[in-house]
Structure 1
Amino acid sequence: MITTGMHEANLVVLSILIAVFASFTALSLAGRVRAGQGAARRVWLVAAAVALGGGIWAMHFVAMLAFRLPGMDMGYDLGLTLLSLAIAIAFTGAGFATLDSTAQSRGRLAAAGLCMGLGVVAMHYVGMAAMRMNAAMHYDPVWLAISVVIAIGAATAALWFAGRDQALGMRLGAAGLMGLAIAGMHYAGMRAAIFTMDHRHGADMAASGVGQTVLAVLIAAITLLILAIALGAAWLERVFHKIARREARIALRLKIADVLRDYDTDAALHQIAALMGQHFAVGRAGFGQLLAEEDMFECNVCWTDGSAPTLLGRFPAADFGAALMARLERGETVVAGDLLESDPRVDARGLATSRRLETRAILVVPFLRDGRLRMTLFLNDRAPRQWHADDIAFLEEIAERTRLVSERAAIAAQLRELNATLEARVEARTSELRAAQEALVQSQKMEAMGQLVAGLSHDFNNVLGAILASFDLIARRSGDAARVERLAGEGRQAAQRAANLIAQLLAFSRTQRLATQALDPALVIERLRPMLIRTLGPLIGLECRLATVDAEDWAALADPTQLEMAVLNLAVNGRDAMPAGGQLTIALEAHVAQGEADLADGRYVVVCVTDTGAGMDEDTLRRAMEPFFTTKPVGKGTGLGLAQIYGSMRQIGGAVRITSAPGKGTSVRLFLPRTAGAQHDEDALPAPAGAGSGAAHVLLVDDDPDLRRALAAALTDLGHDVQAVGDGPAALALLETVTREGHTLPEVAVLDYAMPGMTGAELAAELGRRHPALRIVFMSGFADLAAIEAVAGPEAIVLRKPFATDRLAEAIARA
């Protein structure tokens, strides 16, 4: 009689829980298999096999104990029961070993799933054969086939999940599905069993000392305890592994930092490639450089573990596949666990290259510079592998640190080239600035002179009018000696005024190189007073408070031209600020600096220029010394005056300070460093003892005939023997004649410095060569006498035109 069995619900639920827990434990242990190396890897593989195989067997046995046949006692053959356990563990282990998570492929997965699934089926039906009861048993082929399919599917799924990293949530879900599939396989197999009552089959059945429910609970408890212990061990090992990996990566970061600091570029890249290859346990690691112009990859850094060939050399970029190259050029990290699997990222050419280079798994990080792919850091392996997310992140971190090394050589070369040319470039720029500064100073002078032209022309015409009127009166009253003498004196005074005007104008506009010297600011300003009066006009009063107790104590370090220009510029600014008239005051003050931000500690002479004009508001005052900043209308100012004054004061170690307020005028203070005794720039030459006594033989050379005749007549009146010619060649010819005829040679030659054909300096040099005893006196209408002295020598005697004949006589006597 065919009998239908039934299952105890509580034990069914317990069996399913065992299946789920066993699946979860096996997945966790499989993760340790992937992370392990050597013997540790094999230990975790055995543990995963025992957990899954033993768990499946325990689920099967508890489910068998949950089965009831009405009116029939059941027992189990111990040998077959243990055999079923051994089959479950052995085939599960064989499945894990066949798969080998470091070399997963679809073929291996299918073979491992078939091996493990058939083992589960064998375990189930051997366990069924171990049952002892008063019934004969055979199987429905359809349900038997269903149970086999479920077993193979569940085993394949278990292996697929075991070969991949799983987050906790995903691992729980996978364990639930696998547990239900394993339980489903068992109950499908039970559904396939058909029992026929036969008391002859139960004659030798061994009686059990405990009930089925108690036995099932005991087996379940033992199994769950073992699984919990295994799971706990896996968890602890995972924790320890994370700690060890973190420490290893900290140590690796430190090593790489040392490499980046201590090695040159090429050696550093080789060292880093070796460290990366050993840390990630891959077949090869290295760096490839993209030669964009040739569309080639050049690999000159490649480490291998000895099992893989090196990739040194050049390879066409297209050999690696268009899709892969496109991702690298976008700056994306390329990750592939198995290039030989069907992957849309790998085209036929890239697949052929992978086979030729014996590469299955790759991890490539690109280096971009200026938006273009320049270099890559790569890891390759001959076997397929799953790249962990933290491995990818860590390699990207190392790549970013290494990127600086890959560019260091280029940067160093650029620095060497820059250093090689820096000195020349600095010198050229300094010359340009000097530099530019001289042009700026001269332009400032020209701007100021433009404003003086009208006043100077008016005064100069007045002077010329006085001279002409005096000479007209002399011509008309030549018989009145006293009147002629007075008129001549007035004409001489007028001419001297004209000479002074021209001298001031030329001195102000001279373009010789600026040089600081010890000077008396009071004398500089006093010489400038007439020009200041003409500049300010009749509506503005000028007050100069320049008196000092001891002129030597007030000596300052400055360039006289810069000081003149600064005072004149400030006077012009003050005049423009007082269109309706006012008062301009120039005063000297003493100042001692100590702990001031813009001045070094020490003593200073302060030139203070104050006007009663409109003044400046806060914003204007703050920007007053900015270059090109001006409040004047277009064409009335460049905005460079105060900026140039500030620059010149800073150059000599001084400073500029401005105080102003709207409606209360402006005060500008120039701080000049005090120094030793001042140089007094006086036109008069010291008269030597006995000056003017005794006659001399004089050679006079000047290209201006009127001046030449007048000077020759004056010297003749003073008792000198004068021979006058108009140029250098005539002078040399005259001396040859005198020498040839045996006449007395001149003792002193008075030479105009600027003459056509042969200059006074050239003539003086020739005279020195032919007649070394002949003394030279130069005359010049140029303001910059220092330039003449630089050519003629520091001992040269130079008279600036126009001069009185008395001064010419003194110079001849001095010579």
Structure 2
Amino acid sequence: MMRSHDWSGSPLGHPDTWPPCLRSTVSLMLGSRFPMFVAFGPELGLLYNDAYVEILGDKHPRSLGDRFRDVWAEIWPDISPLVDKALSGEPTWSENMPLLMNRHGRDEPTWFTFSYSPLRDEEGRIAGMFCACTETTGRIQAEAALRANEARLGFLDRLGKETAKVTDADEILATTTRMVAEHLGLSSCAYADMDPDEDGFTIRGDWAAEGSPSIVGHYSLADFGKRAVQDLGAGRPLVIHDNLAELAPEEAATFQAIGIAATICMPLVKDGRLTALMAIHDRVARAWTDYELALITEVTERSWAHIERVRAAANLEALNATLEQRVEERTSQLVEAEAALRQSQKLEAVGQLTGGVAHDFNNLLTIIRSSVDFLRRPDLAEDRRNRYLNAVSETVDRAAKLTGQLLAFARRQTLKPETLDVGARLAGVADLLDTVTGARIRVETDLPDQPCFVRVDVSQFETALVNMAVNARDAMDGEGALTLSLRCCVPLPPIRGHVGAAGPFAAVSLRDTGSGIPPDLLARVFEPFFTTKDVGKGTGLGLSQVFGFAKQSGGDVDVHSAPGQGTIFTLYLPEVEAETVPGVVAAEAGPLEPGGSGQRVLVVEDNIEVGRFATQILQDLGYATTLAGNAEEALDRLGPDGDDFDVVFSDVVMPGMGGIELARLLKRRLPDLPVVLASGYSHVLARESSTGFELLQKPYSADQVSRMLRKVLGRRLVTDAEGGG
């Protein structure tokens, strides 16, 4: 660049005319990577090397060969004494000298360490000066920033410790204003609350240095001009510098009236309204430093965050005061919601059962009615009479079994896990599933010979099986094959992103020959209320019940399907050890024996027809009977000692006092009087089977009644004999 430069306007002239001392100095300078320059001749023409270019900034390349004082006109007053010393023969050394330079279109503070050395010609005369320099701006600013940060952190630590002792929002702000003013040497620091209508604000809680005017009072926001309204209203800080020079005259007058020279208002929100933290310099006009602006901004943010925290703690304390009550209420609501959802899932399954149950009952009633018609014929052969009697008896057993399954299925009660042989249960449920699926679907079973025990709620287990069977039936459009199978001692595979388990698990599978499930719907089949059925034909709760039951029982449910290839639902349940489960023991088979010999039986039954039928059976069996229509009438007939009766035979579900309550009352009053209860409700059988009372399940046969009465009366005879009666 030097070779191609136009030197015609330079006080140095063309390089061919440069003296040897300048040439040798320039050669030395250009060969160095340290920033250097030489100012030569009467007008101090400037020459520099590549390393000095960065210092010049946008002054390069026009500074090449130019007069030194013109290049650095903005700092000439600061460096000219040093230049004069060097030109007088005295070398200088300056370390970290601050200089306000303009080398990028703006004034910027800089720091330099440099030396000015006299440059002599061949005759020993001083012809210029040589400078080796380094800019230390970055280091100086970093050290200053570090010191400022240490001061900031130290102040914030002290401020935090002081305000941590305070639990009132106004006290937090008052403490903050005082400490900010002391730390920054402010004449005043205060906080102001915006009026609810935002037309003005009130300065209060100020801290003022001795001799400084108080600025507490109410002011109209309009007096501060549009700038204040816009800035504070938009949540931006309002900063005023240079003794109000930035404001319009009418705005400056308002600030002067309250003694403000240089102010910063930091907006924050308190009680839902705009509020400002105001920091005020003394009356000596000066601008806010970056440190002061940053510190006040951070203090404002921290103060407000602390006031959130304080209020949140107060709110939390108030919340905790009622937490236990609200948790109890919420828990109760969740339990009720869960029970309602579980019952709705049962009812949907019961609805699916209705058609099949009605069909089966009509078939059973057809057998009974036809058999009764034939039995009325006087000329009916004995073998045919026995055949029809057996048909009626067997049909009643089938109807009782179907009714029992339906009642157990639909009962409303809390979950009641029990240990059961899942294979045996599946074999029994197959008939129920056959009813659900209809005549055109074959229900087949594939069950192992060895027992396999799980612990589950039986009703929920059967509900899950029915729901999966209903889903299969709809997928097969009412025609096909449904295979119910069981595998024992298998691991639980990974399902839907969950890890598996070693087990052992019982795997209950239902395989259908239906249309299959599209891949895009397969992942959603267990979602509550998701259904592909038409409106009114399904709520979408069936498979979600299966999923919930499996999870609640410690297992899971998986599904595999493909369009046109059917679907397999597999229910995994943890296996458990077998245990003896008490239940209602069936009466032994054998010929009907009367057994009665005039013993007195009080029959308690609110249904007149059933009551008459029961008394007729008992009379035919050789018992003397008395019928009471309810528990209250029975108590009247028994009297205070019950001596007129040998046994009480009572229904369970009756208006007023029920059979259970009657039996318990008699156990207290007449502990030696046997009580036999009868009920057709499965939830009563499940709940009361271990109360100590003998229980017959409706519909009962004459044989079952005879055996039960002989059992309890025989027990009484033994007791009387042992007691000497």
Shorter-chain TM-score range: 0.7 to 0.9
Distance 1:528 1:172 in 2: 93
Q: Does structure 2 retain, via aligned residues, the 8 Å contact 1:304–1:310?
A: yes
Q: Return the letter of the residue paired with 2:147.
A: A
**Corresponding residue of 1:328:** 232
Q: 1:780 aligns with which of 665, 676, 679?
A: 679
**Corresponding residue of 2:537:** 636
**Corresponding residue of 1:496:** 397
Aligned residues: CA RMSD: 4.4
Report whether the alignment pairs 1:583 with 2:583: no
How far does residue 600 in structure 1 lie from its aligned partner after superposition? 4.0
How far does residue 589 in structure 1 lie from its aligned partner after superposition? 0.5
Report whether the alignment pairs 1:726 with 2:625: no
**Corresponding residue of 1:522:** 423
How far does residue 412 in structure 1 lie from its aligned partner after superposition? 2.7
Q: Return the letter of the residue paired with 2:516.
A: G
CA deviations 1:138-193 (Å, max 9, x no partner) are xxxxxxxxxxxxxxxxxxxxxxxx9x9885556779xxxxxxxxxxxxxxxxxxxx
Q: Which runs of 5+ in 2 are unaligned?
A: 1-10, 13-40, 46-65, 89-97, 109-124, 713-725
**Corresponding residue of 1:803:** 700
**Corresponding residue of 1:450:** 351
Structure 2 vs 1, CA of residues 320 and 240 (structure 1 numbering), >3 Å: closer, same or farther?
A: farther
Report whether the alignment pairs 1:465 with 2:366: yes
Structure 2 vs 1, CA of residues 309 and 593 (structure 1 numbering), >3 Å: closer, same or farther?
A: farther
CA deviations 1:216-243 (Å, max 9, x no partner) are x98x98xx99xx99xx99x87x777634
Distance 1:776 1:291 in 2: 83
Report whether the alignment pairs 1:380 with 2:280: yes
CA deviations 1:568-606 (Å, max 9, x no partner) are 111111122222732211111024437953444431111
**Corresponding residue of 1:562:** 460
Q: Does structure 2 retain, via aligned residues, the 8 Å contact 1:777–1:797?
A: yes
Q: Return the letter of the residue paired with 1:699.
A: L
Structure 2 vs 1, CA of residues 171 and 489 (structure 1 numbering), >3 Å: closer, same or farther?
A: closer
Distance 1:809 1:407 in 2: 80
Structure 2 vs 1, CA of residues 546 and 423 (structure 1 numbering), >3 Å: closer, same or farther?
A: farther
Distance 2:289 2:101 in 1: 10
Distance 2:440 2:711 in 1: 47
**1:731 is paired with a residue of what secondary structure?**
helix
**Which structure is higher in RCO with an 8 Å CA cutoff and minimum separation 6?**
1
Report whether the alignment pairs 1:247 with 2:146: yes
Q: Which runs of 5+ in 1 are unaligned?
A: 1-8, 30-50, 63-161, 174-216
Q: 2:248 aligns with which of 335, 344, 356?
A: 344
Q: Does structure 2 retain, via aligned residues, the 8 Å contact 1:335–1:362?
A: yes
Structure 2 vs 1, CA of residues 563 and 280 (structure 1 numbering), >3 Å: closer, same or farther?
A: same
**Corresponding residue of 1:672:** 573
Structure 2 vs 1, CA of residues 306 and 645 (structure 1 numbering), >3 Å: closer, same or farther?
A: farther
CA deviations 1:466-518 (Å, max 9, x no partner) are 22233333333289666545433332222222222222221211112122221
Structure 2 vs 1, CA of residues 317 and 728 (structure 1 numbering), >3 Å: closer, same or farther?
A: farther
Q: Does structure 1 retain, via aligned residues, the 8 Å contact 2:191–2:204?
A: yes
Distance 1:406 1:259 in 2: 17
Distance 2:458 2:311 in 1: 52
Distance 1:447 1:783 in 2: 19
Q: Does structure 1 retain, via aligned residues, the 8 Å contact 2:437–2:478?
A: no
Number of matched pairs: 614
Q: Return the letter of the residue paired with 1:375.
A: T
**Structure number, greater radius of gyration:** 1
**Corresponding residue of 2:24:** none
Structure 2 vs 1, CA of residues 18 and 294 (structure 1 numbering), >3 Å: closer, same or farther?
A: closer
**Corresponding residue of 2:507:** 606
Structure 2 vs 1, CA of residues 382 and 510 (structure 1 numbering), >3 Å: closer, same or farther?
A: same
Q: Does structure 2 retain, via aligned residues, the 8 Å contact 1:658–1:668?
A: yes
Structure 2 vs 1, CA of residues 523 and 252 (structure 1 numbering), >3 Å: closer, same or farther?
A: farther
**Corresponding residue of 1:432:** 333
Q: 2:470 aligns with which of 536, 550, 572?
A: 572
Q: Does structure 2 retain, via aligned residues, the 8 Å contact 1:609–1:669?
A: yes
**Corresponding residue of 1:124:** none
CA deviations 1:248-271 (Å, max 9, x no partner) are 232144336646876526687666
Distance 1:251 1:279 in 2: 13
Structure 2 vs 1, CA of residues 813 and 501 (structure 1 numbering), >3 Å: closer, same or farther?
A: same
Structure 2 vs 1, CA of residues 249 and 672 (structure 1 numbering), >3 Å: closer, same or farther?
A: same
Distance 1:786 1:432 in 2: 29
**1:699 is paired with a residue of what secondary structure?**
strand
Distance 1:249 1:681 in 2: 82
How far does residue 12 in structure 1 lie from its aligned partner after superposition? 11
Structure 2 vs 1, CA of residues 582 and 26 (structure 1 numbering), >3 Å: closer, same or farther?
A: same
Q: Return the letter of the residue paired with 1:365.
A: M
Q: Does structure 2 retain, via aligned residues, the 8 Å contact 1:748–1:776?
A: yes
Structure 2 vs 1, CA of residues 612 and 594 (structure 1 numbering), >3 Å: closer, same or farther?
A: closer
Distance 2:368 2:459 in 1: 31
Structure 2 vs 1, CA of residues 675 and 287 (structure 1 numbering), >3 Å: closer, same or farther?
A: farther
How far does residue 348 in structure 1 lie from its aligned partner after superposition? 7.8
Q: Does structure 2 retain, via aligned residues, the 8 Å contact 1:606–1:672?
A: yes
Distance 2:575 2:460 in 1: 16
Q: Which deviates more from structure 2 when the two are superposed, residues 253-262 or residues 508-517?
A: 253-262
Distance 2:107 2:663 in 1: 112
Identity of aligned residues (%): 31
Distance 2:515 2:156 in 1: 66
How far does residue 655 in structure 1 lie from its aligned partner after superposition? 0.7
CA deviations 1:39-83 (Å, max 9, x no partner) are xxxxxxxxxxxx89x799x9xxx9xxxxxxxxxxxxxxxxxxxxx
Q: TM-score w.r.t. structure 1 length? A: 0.65
Distance 1:529 1:594 in 2: 25
Distance 1:450 1:22 in 2: 98
Distance 2:626 2:557 in 1: 56
More helix by share: 1
Structure 2 vs 1, CA of residues 166 and 280 (structure 1 numbering), >3 Å: closer, same or farther?
A: farther
Q: 1:716 aligns with which of 619, 622, 634?
A: 619
Structure 2 vs 1, CA of residues 261 and 577 (structure 1 numbering), >3 Å: closer, same or farther?
A: farther
Q: Which deviates more from structure 2 when the two are superposed, residues 383-392 or residues 590-599?
A: 590-599
Alignment of 1:468-483 (within 5 A): 468-477=369-378
Q: Does structure 1 retain, via aligned residues, the 8 Å contact 2:266–2:300?
A: yes
Structure 2 vs 1, CA of residues 568 and 580 (structure 1 numbering), >3 Å: closer, same or farther?
A: closer
Q: Return the letter of the residue paired with 1:277.
A: A
Structure 2 vs 1, CA of residues 334 and 636 (structure 1 numbering), >3 Å: closer, same or farther?
A: same
**1:627 is paired with a residue of what secondary structure?**
coil
How far does residue 558 in structure 1 lie from its aligned partner after superposition? 1.3
How far does residue 532 in structure 1 lie from its aligned partner after superposition? 1.2
Distance 1:485 1:260 in 2: 103
More strand by share: 2
Structure 2 vs 1, CA of residues 25 and 411 (structure 1 numbering), >3 Å: closer, same or farther?
A: same
Distance 1:399 1:712 in 2: 92
Q: 1:410 aligns with which of 311, 314, 318?
A: 311
**Corresponding residue of 1:548:** 449
Q: TM-score w.r.t. structure 2 length? A: 0.72
Alignment of 1:94-133 (within 5 A): none
**2:376 is paired with a residue of what secondary structure?**
helix
**Corresponding residue of 1:510:** 411
How far does residue 556 in structure 1 lie from its aligned partner after superposition? 0.5
